[in-house]
Amino acid sequence: MPKKYNLIDKRFGKLVVKMKGNVTKQGQMWECVCDCGNVAIYRTSMLISGDAVSCGCLRHDPTMKRNKAREAQKVNGVELFRFQNDKAMPFNSTGAKGVSKYLLKNGGTKYEAKIVINGTTYRKKGFDTIEDAKNYRKQLEELYLPKKSQK
Protein backbone atom coordinates (compact mmCIF):
# COMPACT_ATOMS: atom_id res chain seq x y z
CA MET A 1 0.00 0.00 0.00
CA PRO A 2 1.44 3.42 -0.94
CA LYS A 3 2.51 5.81 1.78
CA LYS A 4 0.12 8.59 2.70
CA TYR A 5 1.56 12.09 2.56
CA ASN A 6 0.29 15.33 4.03
CA LEU A 7 1.79 17.99 1.78
CA ILE A 8 -0.51 20.85 2.81
CA ASP A 9 1.49 24.08 3.39
CA LYS A 10 4.70 22.44 2.13
CA ARG A 11 6.82 24.35 -0.42
CA PHE A 12 8.19 22.80 -3.60
CA GLY A 13 10.16 25.42 -5.55
CA LYS A 14 7.70 28.24 -6.29
CA LEU A 15 4.69 26.08 -5.34
CA VAL A 16 2.93 25.91 -1.98
CA VAL A 17 0.44 23.07 -1.53
CA LYS A 18 -2.93 24.42 -0.40
CA MET A 19 -5.29 21.45 -0.47
CA LYS A 20 -5.68 17.79 -1.26
CA GLY A 21 -7.30 17.00 -4.59
CA ASN A 22 -8.80 13.88 -6.11
CA VAL A 23 -7.11 10.51 -6.29
CA THR A 24 -6.60 9.41 -9.89
CA LYS A 25 -5.04 6.33 -11.51
CA GLN A 26 -1.75 8.25 -11.33
CA GLY A 27 -2.03 8.92 -7.60
CA GLN A 28 -3.05 11.62 -5.14
CA MET A 29 -3.43 15.09 -6.66
CA TRP A 30 -2.66 18.35 -4.83
CA GLU A 31 -3.79 21.91 -5.51
CA CYS A 32 -0.83 24.28 -5.33
CA VAL A 33 -0.49 28.06 -5.51
CA CYS A 34 2.55 29.37 -7.35
CA ASP A 35 4.46 32.46 -6.21
CA CYS A 36 3.21 34.17 -9.39
CA GLY A 37 -0.40 33.66 -8.18
CA ASN A 38 -1.48 30.90 -10.55
CA VAL A 39 -3.02 27.65 -9.33
CA ALA A 40 -1.62 24.31 -10.51
CA ILE A 41 -2.53 20.71 -9.75
CA TYR A 42 0.19 18.06 -9.45
CA ARG A 43 0.42 14.49 -8.20
CA THR A 44 2.48 13.57 -5.14
CA SER A 45 5.38 12.02 -7.03
CA MET A 46 5.85 15.12 -9.23
CA LEU A 47 6.14 17.35 -6.16
CA ILE A 48 8.37 15.07 -4.09
CA SER A 49 10.76 14.28 -6.96
CA GLY A 50 11.25 17.95 -7.79
CA ASP A 51 9.76 17.58 -11.28
CA ALA A 52 7.10 20.18 -10.42
CA VAL A 53 8.54 23.47 -9.15
CA SER A 54 6.17 26.06 -10.65
CA CYS A 55 2.84 26.42 -12.42
CA GLY A 56 4.74 26.63 -15.68
CA CYS A 57 5.69 30.28 -15.32
CA LEU A 58 9.40 29.41 -15.23
CA ARG A 59 9.11 28.14 -18.81
CA HIS A 60 7.67 31.46 -19.95
CA ASP A 61 10.01 33.74 -17.98
CA PRO A 62 12.56 34.97 -20.55
CA THR A 63 15.03 36.02 -17.85
CA MET A 64 15.19 32.59 -16.26
CA LYS A 65 16.11 29.29 -17.83
CA ARG A 66 13.72 26.49 -16.94
CA ASN A 67 16.21 24.56 -14.84
CA LYS A 68 18.29 27.47 -13.56
CA ALA A 69 17.41 26.75 -9.93
CA ARG A 70 18.32 23.08 -10.32
CA GLU A 71 21.57 23.84 -12.13
CA ALA A 72 22.65 26.12 -9.29
CA GLN A 73 22.16 23.28 -6.80
CA LYS A 74 24.21 20.73 -8.75
CA VAL A 75 27.63 19.62 -7.54
CA ASN A 76 29.75 18.05 -10.28
CA GLY A 77 26.58 17.54 -12.30
CA VAL A 78 24.73 15.74 -9.47
CA GLU A 79 21.45 17.04 -8.05
CA LEU A 80 22.35 16.51 -4.38
CA PHE A 81 18.93 17.71 -3.19
CA ARG A 82 17.52 14.43 -4.50
CA PHE A 83 19.60 12.59 -1.88
CA GLN A 84 18.86 14.85 1.11
CA ASN A 85 16.09 12.72 2.55
CA ASP A 86 15.59 9.01 2.92
CA LYS A 87 11.97 9.04 1.77
CA ALA A 88 11.19 6.48 -0.87
CA MET A 89 8.88 7.33 -3.75
CA PRO A 90 5.22 6.45 -3.10
CA PHE A 91 5.34 3.51 -5.52
CA ASN A 92 8.42 1.94 -3.85
CA SER A 93 7.38 -1.44 -2.40
CA THR A 94 10.19 -1.70 0.18
CA GLY A 95 9.76 1.72 1.75
CA ALA A 96 13.53 2.32 1.47
CA LYS A 97 15.01 4.74 -1.06
CA GLY A 98 17.14 2.96 -3.65
CA VAL A 99 16.18 -0.52 -2.43
CA SER A 100 14.05 -2.88 -4.48
CA LYS A 101 12.76 -6.40 -3.97
CA TYR A 102 13.02 -9.24 -6.45
CA LEU A 103 11.81 -12.83 -6.43
CA LEU A 104 14.00 -15.86 -6.90
CA LYS A 105 13.02 -18.85 -9.03
CA ASN A 106 12.61 -20.93 -5.85
CA GLY A 107 10.04 -18.43 -4.55
CA GLY A 108 12.41 -16.67 -2.14
CA THR A 109 12.88 -12.93 -1.89
CA LYS A 110 16.09 -10.91 -2.09
CA TYR A 111 16.82 -7.19 -2.13
CA GLU A 112 18.93 -4.94 -4.32
CA ALA A 113 20.61 -1.62 -3.46
CA LYS A 114 20.95 0.82 -6.34
CA ILE A 115 22.00 4.41 -7.04
CA VAL A 116 22.30 6.31 -10.33
CA ILE A 117 24.87 9.11 -10.50
CA ASN A 118 25.25 11.12 -13.73
CA GLY A 119 23.73 8.29 -15.74
CA THR A 120 25.92 5.55 -14.25
CA THR A 121 24.14 2.86 -12.25
CA TYR A 122 25.83 1.32 -9.21
CA ARG A 123 24.07 -1.69 -7.71
CA LYS A 124 24.48 -4.83 -5.71
CA LYS A 125 21.96 -7.66 -5.48
CA GLY A 126 21.49 -10.53 -3.08
CA PHE A 127 20.71 -8.92 0.26
CA ASP A 128 18.60 -11.00 2.63
CA THR A 129 17.04 -8.03 4.43
CA ILE A 130 15.87 -4.54 3.51
CA GLU A 131 18.10 -3.17 6.26
CA ASP A 132 21.24 -4.74 4.74
CA ALA A 133 20.38 -3.30 1.31
CA LYS A 134 19.60 0.09 2.87
CA ASN A 135 22.97 0.18 4.63
CA TYR A 136 24.77 -0.72 1.41
CA ARG A 137 22.85 2.03 -0.42
CA LYS A 138 24.18 4.50 2.19
CA GLN A 139 27.71 3.25 1.47
CA LEU A 140 27.15 3.83 -2.25
CA GLU A 141 26.05 7.42 -1.51
CA GLU A 142 29.16 8.05 0.60
CA LEU A 143 31.39 6.53 -2.06
CA TYR A 144 29.93 8.09 -5.24
CA LEU A 145 28.14 11.33 -4.29
CA PRO A 146 30.32 14.43 -4.53
CA LYS A 147 30.72 16.50 -1.38
CA LYS A 148 29.13 19.95 -1.39
CA SER A 149 32.58 21.50 -1.00
CA GLN A 150 33.58 20.08 -4.44
CA LYS A 151 31.32 22.52 -6.28
Q: What confidence tens digit (pLDDT) does each residue in 94-129 have?
A: 888 889 999 999 999 999 999 888 888 899 999 999
Q: Residue 56 carries which DSSP code?
A: S
pLDDT at 79: 67
Pairwise CA distance, residues 146 & 100, whole Å: 24
Pairwise CA distance, residues 124 & 47, whole Å: 29
How many other C-beta atoms lie within 10 A of the C-beta of residue 47?
22
Do 139 and 85 share a domain, yes or no? Answer: yes
Do 85 and 143 share a domain, yes or no? Answer: yes
Select from 42, 56, 54 the least CA-distant residue to 7: 42
Pairwise CA distance, residues 81 & 49, whole Å: 10
Residue 29 pLDDT > 60:
yes
Pairwise CA distance, residues 73 & 89, whole Å: 21
Reported as a single tens digit per residue, the pLDDT across 39-85 is 999 999 899 888 888 988 877 665 555 556 666 667 777 766 667 76
Give a yes or no: residue 73 inside a domain. no
Answer whether 32's CB lies under 8 Å from 21's CB: no
- Whole-number average pLDDT of the chain: 83
Q: What is the CATH number of the domain that holds 124?
A: 3.30.160
Pairwise CA distance, residues 147 & 80, whole Å: 9
Give a yes or no: residue 122 inside a domain. yes
Structurally, how many domains does the chain consist of?
A: 2
Provide the whole-model pTM. Answer: 0.50
Domain region containing 104? 78-150
